[in-house]
Structure 1
Amino acid sequence: MSGKVEGVAAQEVQPEYIPARIFDAEKEDRKIAFKGALIRISDPNAGKGTEDLVDLRDITQYEYYTVPAGFELEVIDGWVKLTKSSAS
């Protein structure tokens, strides 16, 4: 076992392949570049049946999204680059 925490490189500079992961909600906005099988950005506190902010599949070219503060991010079978949004 390598001890590598999946998703760490994705939160730095280089895109990282991630088979499946849910990134917990954070207190500040994040930016993501993604291509792969599934990306979902959702409010973990929303009621059942609430529409997700983003729920897309089979993305073949990098797409760019903002993950608002308080929202979680789910990715499956994709390349991810996740960064904190800088204050404007």
Structure 2
Amino acid sequence: MSKPIRNSTEMTDITRLEQANAMMRLVNQALARNDLAALAALGFCHPHIGELKQQGGFRSSSIAQNTRMITRLRKVGDTHAQ
């Protein structure tokens, strides 16, 4: 017997959170290199870049919170699939 397909809303949420984490990591790396061109290529305007620089980038706790939510959504999805 095959497992049912996971809820598409959960999959969308997981994908969105994974993309957000990837973006935050890229931004933090670009900030560490002071690579303003990379930040602009990621879609950030100069005022937002200045704000990110002032704040020191995205907090690791935000990335960790997204990671915990991804884990939770996967666990819920696996429970529903059984």
User: Normalising by the residue count of structure 2, what TM-score does the alignment of the two structures yield?
Assistant: 0.20
- Quick one: higher RCO (CA 8 Å, sep 6+), 1 or 2? 2
Query: Of Structure 1 and Structure 2, which has the larger fraction of its residues in strand?
Result: 1
Structure 1 length normalisation: TM-score? Answer: 0.19
**Structure whose alpha-carbon radius of gyration is higher:** 2
